[in-house]
Structure 1
Amino acid sequence: MGMGKENRDRIAMRAAQELKNGMAVNLGIGIPTQVADYVPEGVQIVFHAENGILYAGGAPNPGEEDAFLCNAGGYPVTIVEGASYCDSSIAFAMIRRGCIDITILGALEVSERGDLANWIVPGKRVAGIGGAMELAQKAKKVIVLMNHVNRQGESKVKKQCDLPLTARACVKLIITEMAVMEVTEHGLLLKEIMLPYTVDDVVRHTEAALIIPEHISYIP
């Protein structure tokens, strides 16, 4: 099941609210790359790319792309004042040292305990694991942005992941076109719902058990 641009934008906008001034943040391929376009005014973020950029900016305007300036996914980016470059070994050393405050990733599946599966579907070709395994293990906080269900209409928020894991118990927050869910020690907490969806909609499309609080915020 595909996702329209409006839903992708809403997810990216909600994820940007998790960013605080001065954070070092890594953005994965897909919806996460759009988060850089929605950083709240006055908030300065050190966006990190595994291919060796610090202070990466949002996407360039059409026609203003620099063929030599891209993120780790190969998509064109801009840079902001103070940006610097390094080789990929230094960029990965920053990850391994625990210098990344938040990594925002896409996912194929996430379990109710925060297990992440996002690198391969068995039997299908894949370019490579990339940096997701190290980011998932070493970033201080892992946020997942994804469709709530797959193309077959099956929940991607699982009791237990069926696909090969990227990392165990690493995800702290899940944001989909339906809801915002926090992984807690007591289970998966339904924090917010994206209108026009309802609690019943989210429960019906979620395989994992949900903790439903008395008061839930709704995102217009």
Structure 2
Amino acid sequence: MNDKEVIASRVARELKDGDRVNLGIGLPTLVARYLSPSLHVFFHSENGIMGMSPLPGEGFEDINLTDAGGRPVGALPGACAFDSAFSFGMIRGGHLDVTVLGGLEVDELGQLANWMVPGSMIPGMGGAMDLVTGARRVIVAMTHRSKTGSKIVRRCSLPITSVRRVDLVVTELAVIRPTEEGLVLEEVMPGISVREVVDATDAGLILAPGLVP
């Protein structure tokens, strides 16, 4: 597995039967591939679909059926489509159990920055602010470091997405839970040591009792 696949497969273990789950653009879309066949999870995309699924294979693409990033997707039997206003009503009304989003930075307050790098051309925040604020549980799926350094920092230097504290951060190195006391290192990935995680992280980490890989 590459780093993104490791992250996606670990996030998939956080989902429960019957969950309504929004998958953000990019890495989070991989999560659906690693869902246990025994679970019935309803994937949502903010452009207006509930019951989204990965494509069954090449040749099944339909230009009228895409996720919010414009990537072709499939639909499970019983899936439904609706307009953007209804979709955001679901998000803002607290009707999503989980959202899985990518991240640029997460800080010791558990705040997420994931929608812009100042000076870069962007289309807008999209649904990020609504999802972080409205979903019952927010999981950040991102690589631990960027080309310039750690993405888990003491304070976000990039514009934050919401003042709400996210619930879980999953990287290729570790699983970290933001709390009122700080960032708790709960798991390290197979083959990774606690020291490697600490050295790769700019923020302070609290080691969970009995922490083992």
Same fold by TM-score greater than 0.5: yes
Match of 2:109 among 110, 113, 137: 113
Cα distance in 1 between the residues matched to 2:113 and 2:212: 28
User: Aligned-pair distance for 1:214?
Assistant: 3.9
Structure 2 length as normaliser, TM-score? Answer: 0.96
Match of 2:211 in 1: 216
AA of the residue aligned to 2:48: G
TM-score by length of 1: 0.93
2:30 to 25, 30, 34: 34
Aligned length: 213
- Provide the secondary structure at the position in 2 that maps to 1:55: strand
Checking the alignment, whether the CA contact within 8 Å between 1:46 and 1:55 is kept in structure 2 is yes
Unmatched 5+ stretches in structure 1: none
Give per-residue Cα distances to partners, 1:193-216, cap 9 Å, x unaligned.
Answer: 113221111001111111113422
Query: Where in structure 2 are there 5+ consecutive unaligned residues?
Result: none
Over aligned residues, Cα RMSD in angstroms?
1.2
2:21 pairs, out of 1, 10, 25, with: 25
Q: Which amino acid aligns with 1:7?
A: D
CA–CA distance in 2 between the matches of 1:21 and 1:39?
A: 10
Partner Cα distance (1:9, 1:216) in 2 = 23
Over 3 Å off, 4+ runs: none
Conserved 8 A contact 1:37-1:59: no
Q: Kindly, what percent of the aligned residue pairs are identical?
A: 46
Residue number among 53, 69, 92 corresponding to 2:49 in the alignment: 53
1:164 maps to 159
Instruction: Answer yes or no: is the 8 Å Cα contact 1:56–1:80 preserved in 2.
Output: yes
Name the counterpart of 1:183. Answer: 178
CA contact (8 A) 1:102 1:139 kept: yes
2:133·2:164 contact (CA, 8 Å) conserved in 1? no
Structure 2: distance between partners of 1:92 and 1:213: 36
